[in-house]
């Protein structure tokens, strides 16, 4: 699907939200990451209310055993990734961290 949108992604440079799971397609996350990084994008995901870079994603977060466990999936396994043009990534990260911090603070009230 992303390959069909390559010209649009290259031209418009949108923020892209992708759901990818290795249990549905072997190396799904790696292939999406490679595709987006080759176009000058940085990847992110949210872990326990904090924005993380895709470099922080570990194999156990995408393991089939963990993804098949509802308890583990809600606490530590990730299938949703945000990709942002490198030129916009630092500003995007600051804005997301601010928004997530506000959400976390309002959740604790």
Residues with pLDDT less than 50, the chain:
71, 73, 76, 107-109
Assigned domain for 40 exists: yes
Reported as a single tens digit per residue, the pLDDT across 11-33 is: 999 999 998 887 778 888 899 99
According to DSSP, the β-strands at 16-19 and 80-85 are antiparallel
Assigned domain for 48 exists: yes
What pLDDT does 60 receive? 72
What pLDDT does 64 receive? 60
Assigned domain for 104 exists: no
Assigned domain for 43 exists: yes
Domain that holds residue 40: 3-93
For the stretch 94-109, what's the b/e string if a residue is b when 16 or more beta carbons lie within 10 angstroms of its beta carbon? eebeeeeeeeeeeeee
Structural domain tally of the chain? 1
Assigned domain for 58 exists: yes
Q: pTM for the full model?
A: 0.77
What pLDDT does 40 receive? 97
Assigned domain for 109 exists: no
């Amino acid at each position: 699907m992303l390959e069909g949108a390559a010209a649009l992604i290259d031209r418009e440079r949108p923020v892209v939200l992708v759901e990818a799971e290795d249990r549905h397609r072997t190396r799904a996350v790696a292939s999406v990451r490679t595709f987006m990084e080759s176009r000058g994008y940085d990847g992110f995901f949210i872990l326990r209310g904090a924005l993380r870079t895709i470099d922080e994603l570990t194999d156990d977060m995408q393991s089939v055993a963990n993804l098949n466990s509802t308890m583990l999936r809600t606490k530590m396994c990730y299938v949703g990734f945000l990709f942002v043009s490198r030129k916009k990534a630092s500003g995007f990260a600051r804005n997301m961290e601010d928004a997530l911090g506000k959400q976390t603070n309002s959740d604790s009230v």
